[in-house]
Structure 1
Amino acid sequence: MTNVTDQHFHEGTRHSGKSCQERQGDLIMSRPFNEWTFTHMNWLLPSERVSRGGFRFPLPGESRPLDLTYRFDGRDHTLADLHRRTHTTAFVVLHRGAVVHESYPGRFAGPRARFQLFSLSKSITSMLVGIALAQGAIGSLRDPVTAYRPDFAGTAYDGTTLGDLLDMTSGVGGPEQWDLPGADIKRFEEACLGRGTVLDVLRTAPRTAIPGTRFNYSTLDAQLIGWILEAATGRTLAQYAAEHLWSRIGADRDAYYWLTRSRPRTAVGGGSFNATARDLARVGLLMAHDGRLAGEQIVPRSWVRRTDVRTVPHLAVGALGPSGYDHYGYAGQWWTLAGDHRAFTGLGVHGQYLFVDPVADVVIVKCSAWPDEDDPSRDRETITALQRIAEHLDQRSDVLTA
């Protein structure tokens, strides 16, 4: 059955020189389509439910205006400026576990809307790996890829460990260049939409560095992490996430992974998780509180603290090279930030953020619909604003407790 969006896809490709199938990836991501597609991915692709289960954990507090400005490019800006300039669709701020601000500027957004989180999915997958390690389903981060996926013997991933994948130091593949035809990430996207297979993309990726020596941001690495997790647990990503994470955080709604059109259909552990902004804030709360929620240890504390590992030279803030911005470091599928507050963030293309400041006890979710996958200026402005919010709330706490 062809829905309205499919008709737009056909109209948008009629004179493009590309087939509808070839152009769908571009159209899903482009404005103004993306404000709709980023909240309706399960209308466009197969999906698998991540059940919330029966446990409920209401978030206390209520939204109120945040009266602050942040300084960027020599000018002061309000949060309304941030939302306008960076195409915010959802914005949720928690302080000390309570909602202090919530807004949904997006045209199709709201508390029940489930947002396409893109590479923020990587951070969810990392949490699942930490749980699987604690349960003994995964033996060690030093385990080679081939211990779980022997079909990768003889590929560029032969000799790479799970730890290498988690820190994006596999030594496989080149930079993620969305605007470069034939780049690994474009081949991956095309395979997800049905042109070729995702497995073939990963198995044919070239070796470009010695494992463990160089950071290179890679959705291919994250995809392999998801497959290792599935092989180790005997469960799909959606099943494992439901059983060991989503059903334990008191989520408002089921989440879902969209699945590839190519067969065998698979979740994209590095990019296909969809959830409400409030539920994503619950995930951030878990990370801010050392993996505990409602008195229960859900993610091992030692695993959460991996985001504090900032001493590896090629993963330190400012040392990631051309594959990362200079205000970030990297640790276990999370981006680390400088400063005493040990702040870190999950990131997804087109402006998806899960910002966590464990010292200030601040969690901020920002979903967006940027016109481009990556935008260094919008990213730097967003991080500047989020850090300013955390600073503002932390200062207010000091005043109230003085």
Structure 2
Amino acid sequence: MARTARWMAGGTAVAAAGAGMAWLWRHQEEVAFRRPMNEWTFTHMSTVLPVAAVPAAARVRPLSRGELPPGFTYEFRGTRRTLEQLHERTHTTGFAVLHRGRLVHESHPGRFGGPARRFQLFSLTKSVTSILLGIALTEGALGSLDDKVVTYCPELAGSAYDGPTVADLLDMTSGAGGVEDYEDPQAPVNRLMRAVTGRGSVLDVVRSVDTGADPGTFFNYSTLDSQVLGWVLEGATGLPLARYASERLWSRIGAETDAYYGLSRSRPRTAVGGGSFNATVRDMARVGLLMARGGSFDGEQVVPKEWVERGRGSGKELLRPGALGEQYPAHYGYANQWWTLGGEHRAFTGLGIYGQFLWVDPVADVVVVKTSAWPTAEDPDRDAETVAALSSLVTHLSTAE
């Protein structure tokens, strides 16, 4: 009887453990992306997903050093705060500031941060994909922005992406897919992420979405658009995304640390061109410097100046700051896989959920990289405070001589 009881107890424990593992598998993203676990997750994505490396440059181009002028504070909703308070309030994990090409500030407040730590950049990846497409266009691999997507992705024939052009996707006006709602399990972006983690086909998810508007007529932020742009780039160049990024971008800006793309667990493996690039803040500062200098880096024109200008604002009324729709902060517009900020400087920023920023102000010659681990994917208050702080930081650098 005692032996039977022990066997039953052991069986119950095994069953409970199995049920627990099954629950953890079904809810892995939810658990991994909660604070404080997400600070670890966002710096260890190579242990979570298969990856494709983007090797560091054979010749590293050092960043010259400078000093952040003392006394910086910013005001947000009637209260003045310091940079350290910004980091604490917005869960900064890595932070770098370039002014006039010099690294004037770098810090790594995150528990797992450091100069060589690669951070998950989420949708800031979209802006990197845009840069690569600009290079491919210049090289002639990509024929025209007016080319239909299916020219490069014939597997999407008959889907909602059979009709939109490359330009439509760059401006998030494909007309395909639904609302990017991270709280809705059935939203296209969440179905995409489930497929990436091995529960379904990424291609099937992309092919499954409906047409919601005529191409070019309506702004709808969609990671699926950017996923397709990654496939367009691969189809046009004949190279995997990571290899093209290494040969055409990472090597030419003198990146000092390997970066990597997360790949889908499901096969065929595919790079997540809309949200899986991982890199150090210092190397992303080099990317920002490239954009701040009109696509030129150390005298080499890496990406056309016209392409950089396209990312600062297209002039289209439906994409200007404040015109994107009620669900988007009024301080943002959109163009070419970048969020535009308008104003005299026409600054622009790459953004990623959970608080990732690549802020570029070409007029002030300022670049700011901020990686974060917010408690939730989207946080309007933390976004607004970060925008207030970075805007004030640009002013501080421009006026403090």
Determine if the TM-score, normalized by the shorter chain, exceeds 0.5: yes
Match of 1:273 in 2: 277
Shift, 1:337, TM fit: 0.4
- Report how many residues are paired: 386
Q: Residue 101 of structure 1 aligns to which amino acid in structure 2?
A: H
In 2, the alpha carbon distance for the partners of 1:383 and 1:98 equals: 22
Q: Residue 377 of structure 1 aligns to which amino acid in structure 2?
A: D
Match of 1:372 among 357, 373, 376: 376
Matches within 5 A, 1:299-378: 299-378=303-382
Q: Residue 384 of structure 1 aligns to which amino acid in structure 2?
A: A
Match of 1:93 in 2: 97
CA radius of gyration, larger in: 2
| Alignment deviations for residues 175-207 of structure 1 (CA, whole Å, 9 cap, x no partner) | 111111211111011001000011000000111
> Structure 1: which 5+ residue stretches go unaligned?
1-10
Match of 1:233 in 2: 237
Q: Larger deviation: 305-314 or 139-148?
A: 305-314
Identity across matched positions, percent:
58
Q: Residue 168 of structure 1 aligns to which amino acid in structure 2?
A: M
Match of 1:390 in 2: 394
Q: Residue 275 of structure 2 aligns to which amino acid in structure 1?
A: G
In 2, the alpha carbon distance for the partners of 1:320 and 1:254 equals: 36
In 2, the alpha carbon distance for the partners of 1:302 and 1:41 equals: 34
Match of 2:44 in 1: 40
Paired residue secondary structure (1:345)? strand
Question: Residues 190 and 196 of structure 1 are in contact (CA less than 8 Å); yes or no, is this contact kept in structure 2?
Answer: yes
In 1, the alpha carbon distance for the partners of 2:200 and 2:69 equals: 49
Q: Residue 150 of structure 2 aligns to which amino acid in structure 1?
A: T
Distance 1:15 1:74, change over 3 A: farther
Q: Residue 91 of structure 2 aligns to which amino acid in structure 1?
A: H
Question: Residues 171 and 210 of structure 1 are in contact (CA less than 8 Å); yes or no, is this contact kept in structure 2?
Answer: yes
1:49 aligns with 2:53: yes
Q: Residue 112 of structure 1 aligns to which amino acid in structure 2?
A: A
Q: Residue 355 of structure 2 aligns to which amino acid in structure 1?
A: G
1:254 aligns with 2:254: no
Shift, 1:219, TM fit: 0.2
Match of 2:107 among 103, 106, 111: 103
In 2, the alpha carbon distance for the partners of 1:230 and 1:349 equals: 25
| Alignment deviations for residues 273-314 of structure 1 (CA, whole Å, 9 cap, x no partner) | 000000000000000000011110001111111023342011
| Alignment deviations for residues 298-336 of structure 1 (CA, whole Å, 9 cap, x no partner) | 011111110233420110010001452211000100000
Tell me which stretches of 4 or more aligned residues in structure 1 moved more than 4 Å. Answer: 11-16, 62-66
In 2, the alpha carbon distance for the partners of 1:280 and 1:304 equals: 16
1:19 aligns with 2:16: no
RMSD: 1.6
Question: Residues 310 and 317 of structure 1 are in contact (CA less than 8 Å); yes or no, is this contact kept in structure 2?
Answer: no
In 2, the alpha carbon distance for the partners of 1:67 and 1:261 equals: 48
Shift, 1:342, TM fit: 1.1
In 1, the alpha carbon distance for the partners of 2:322 and 2:83 equals: 27
Match of 1:141 in 2: 145
In 1, the alpha carbon distance for the partners of 2:84 and 2:64 equals: 24
Q: Residue 328 of structure 1 aligns to which amino acid in structure 2?
A: Y
Matches within 5 A, 1:39-78: 39-62=43-66, 64=68, 66-78=70-82
Matches within 5 A, 1:51-200: 51-62=55-66, 64=68, 66-200=70-204
Question: Residues 355 and 363 of structure 1 are in contact (CA less than 8 Å); yes or no, is this contact kept in structure 2?
Answer: yes
> Structure 2: which 5+ residue stretches go unaligned?
1-15
Normalising by the residue count of structure 1, what TM-score does the alignment of the two structures yield?
Answer: 0.93
Paired residue secondary structure (2:370)? strand
Paired residue secondary structure (1:177)? coil
Q: Residue 354 of structure 2 aligns to which amino acid in structure 1?
A: H
Q: Residue 205 of structure 2 aligns to which amino acid in structure 1?
A: V
Q: Residue 354 of structure 1 aligns to which amino acid in structure 2?
A: L
